[in-house]
Structure 1
């Protein structure tokens, strides 16, 4: 118990540190020139960046208490909002990092009967997911500021997630395939393919790669539907790589849940902003990140949710035909909603008034 509380406090301190560092990084907008030097400007005060902000370091979180551009431009730091952003980002990181650590260690939020990692990788999964949360915070701040998610955040994240999943073979929240639909499941438990137990490292690789592929395909299909029905892409390519990164860390089942949950978090956040009198346009990336955090925090209860003895989440993810039907229904629903948006936009506004 004491060790768990100490780890939670350590995660809170680490979150405060990297939250402020990430806030510093989003002040720097690097633009490579022909000379190979990033000739950018401070995002908040528009002061030119010094030449030492090069292509190898310009995108990294800046050291010190202020971003380099504001530090070197005389008095420019007084014009920008860095301290407020850093304070908000730091506190958000504290809540996200320590909240997940507490749920993982004290609430056992990811313990399911099918997955029993050894003690080393049980702790390893905590820090594996804390790394994902740090990357999600970085992507969220960047998306909120510039409506873009750079590849230098998501693509290395995918690579690290896949490499660690392969090296450990024991970081998954749930295995690549678990079948709870066997009539004798109460006698011998769910059916898990034997090769998963025999080749855990290859299973880790397959589990992570399939999660990344699932995330990328889901968002890309939604982009294609949006372009076909609305005539323009509603989501950016950064959203594709963001959900792919989430999938590489969480696996394909959790990625599907994140994808389905994100529209509801978007509705909730939008309604809350309207309620407090601050309606604003929020990109989709932060909603994916928030949904991923919620899924990580509540995975045990999501996976074991069983409203009836026949209908349950874990039964669904072990039934191939049911998944195909659900996917078809989901795509049809998305197409109908997008078509409704197109019809609504085509209505003459003056006549409605």
Structure 2
């Protein structure tokens, strides 16, 4: 870290720009490799019949896409033929609104710009630091902290980009994105507490900066470092692993048979043994970090709380909305996505991102419609956009939204539960109205 910080700033920015472009290439590969259903027109599809083999330079980031622009007509023909074989009716005039190579090239260019800009924003200008302090000077006084935080946010940006575009393409967020992302978040938090955003704490008229841990803005209680805290940490880890498993409940023959069927299906699923191995290894790691204690345990516990609150909030909304509407309201990928986000930014920022997410919908829907003609947009991109806004405007979000809500204490929790119940009632009323209109 010290060697990197001592490099001239222009050199660091240039290196990060190159890293961003390369990361964009990885993002493009992952968007199509991790998708459940490979789209017919993709930058990683085979060369259309009748065309010469691609040269090595067509695999280079950004510039390689210019060399592949001539493949567009052949790609469209191959896509039309494949969709026809799959039984879809494809009109002869069907074409996407933009060439297949434009989106991946734009992703690589965007990340090539975003990573150095985010680095300057967080580590040099210090704009994630509280308003009212000399941000650039304070940033220079906390280089290690802000660099750790940047690494976490850069990783999150790459993972959210993959999740966003796969969700755009097929309304699914694969576990290949969220499981490794959550594990990396827990690991980074265990190594350094400074992966979390800074908050101002004032005592005796003196302000100091502290990481936004699980208990912020209140002091950390001793019980969280005791056996009680360990038990809670193990429970949160176990809950996340269980949430990823296959959970099929068949109630046709009563609850007794339902339990038998539940464990039989769970046991036969090929994913169960891998999740079981991850669970056991995680239990050992959690206990080891708890034994080490100090900031390592505080960091891991903060990430576990963020993971649980982020995923649990979306899970609760999904459950209530599904029961009220009589159909699945949100995909489970949104749950695992928010758990990953919570593990990196903490539960306070995750809660703010959840409420900011719907405000981004108009902009995202408009851009999506203009680019692809698609009118419906999944919820995952909103969550990612809400997270980006929360991080970039963290001083304002903390001071104007999060802190006043947290100071309400138990009242805030009651408001949240009441809002969830109200949402269920309103959706239930809307379902009844819709069924009555359809019946008429």
TM-score (norm 2): 0.60
- Structure 1: distance between partners of 2:419 and 2:204: 29
Deviations 1:160-209 (A, max 9, x none): 1111101112221157xx988xxx87578865236599821111011100
Quick one: structure 1 residues 247 and 43, their matched pair in 2 at CA, closer, same or farther if it must change by over 3 Å?
farther
Deviations 1:41-67 (A, max 9, x none): 6642699879xxxxxxxxxxxx7669x
- The one of 324, 332, 349 equivalent to 1:229 is 324
Q: Decide whether the 8 Å contact of 1:29 with 1:42 is kept in 2.
A: no
- The one of 295, 304, 317 equivalent to 1:200 is 295
- Structure 2: distance between partners of 1:279 and 1:344: 27
In the other structure, the counterpart of 2:75 is 79
Asked if 1:130 corresponds to 2:130, the answer is: no
- The one of 80, 88, 108 equivalent to 2:126 is 108
- Structure 2: distance between partners of 1:235 and 1:18: 29
- Number of positions where the alignment pairs a residue of Structure 1 with one of Structure 2: 313
Question: Structure 1 residue 300: deviation in Å?
Answer: 1.4
- The one of 406, 410, 416 equivalent to 1:327 is 416
Question: Structure 1 residue 236: deviation in Å?
Answer: 0.7
Quick one: structure 1 residues 9 and 125, their matched pair in 2 at CA, closer, same or farther if it must change by over 3 Å?
same
Choose 13-22 or 76-85, whichever is displaced more: 76-85
In the other structure, the counterpart of 2:351 is 256
Question: Structure 1 residue 280: deviation in Å?
Answer: 1.5
In the other structure, the counterpart of 1:53 is none
Choose 246-255 or 96-105, whichever is displaced more: 96-105
- Structure 2: distance between partners of 1:144 and 1:289: 12
- Structure 2: distance between partners of 1:172 and 1:218: 20
CA RMSD of the aligned region, Å?
4.0
Quick one: structure 1 residues 149 and 188, their matched pair in 2 at CA, closer, same or farther if it must change by over 3 Å?
closer
- The one of 16, 19, 27 equivalent to 1:14 is 19
Deviations 1:232-251 (A, max 9, x none): 11111111000000000000
Q: Aligned to 1:303, what secondary structure does the other structure show?
A: helix
Question: Structure 1 residue 294: deviation in Å?
Answer: 1.0
Q: Which has the larger radius of gyration?
A: 2
Q: Decide whether the 8 Å contact of 1:15 with 1:90 is kept in 2.
A: yes
Which consecutive residues of structure 2, in runs of 5 or more, have no partner in the other structure? 48-58, 63-70, 77-98, 209-216, 226-292
Question: Structure 1 residue 278: deviation in Å?
Answer: 4.5
Q: Decide whether the 8 Å contact of 1:154 with 1:242 is kept in 2.
A: yes
Asked if 1:302 corresponds to 2:299, the answer is: no
Q: Decide whether the 8 Å contact of 1:42 with 1:49 is kept in 2.
A: no
Question: Structure 1 residue 272: deviation in Å?
Answer: 6.0
Deviations 1:200-236 (A, max 9, x none): 1111011100000001100100111111110111111
TM-score (norm 1): 0.74
- The one of 154, 176, 199 equivalent to 1:152 is 176
Quick one: structure 1 residues 202 and 156, their matched pair in 2 at CA, closer, same or farther if it must change by over 3 Å?
same
- Structure 2: distance between partners of 1:127 and 1:87: 24
Q: Aligned to 2:102, what secondary structure does the other structure show?
A: helix
Q: Decide whether the 8 Å contact of 1:165 with 1:205 is kept in 2.
A: yes
Q: Aligned to 1:26, what secondary structure does the other structure show?
A: helix
Quick one: structure 1 residues 43 and 241, their matched pair in 2 at CA, closer, same or farther if it must change by over 3 Å?
farther
Asked if 1:172 corresponds to 2:196, the answer is: yes
Q: Decide whether the 8 Å contact of 1:179 with 1:191 is kept in 2.
A: no
Deviations 1:327-352 (A, max 9, x none): 1233134224423542453353798x
Q: Aligned to 1:170, what secondary structure does the other structure show?
A: helix
Q: Decide whether the 8 Å contact of 1:212 with 1:247 is kept in 2.
A: yes
Which consecutive residues of structure 1, in runs of 5 or more, have no partner in the other structure? 32-39, 51-62, 67-74, 306-311
In the other structure, the counterpart of 1:89 is 107
- Structure 2: distance between partners of 1:102 and 1:45: 33
Q: Decide whether the 8 Å contact of 1:96 with 1:133 is kept in 2.
A: no
Q: Decide whether the 8 Å contact of 2:129 with 2:395 is kept in 1.
A: yes
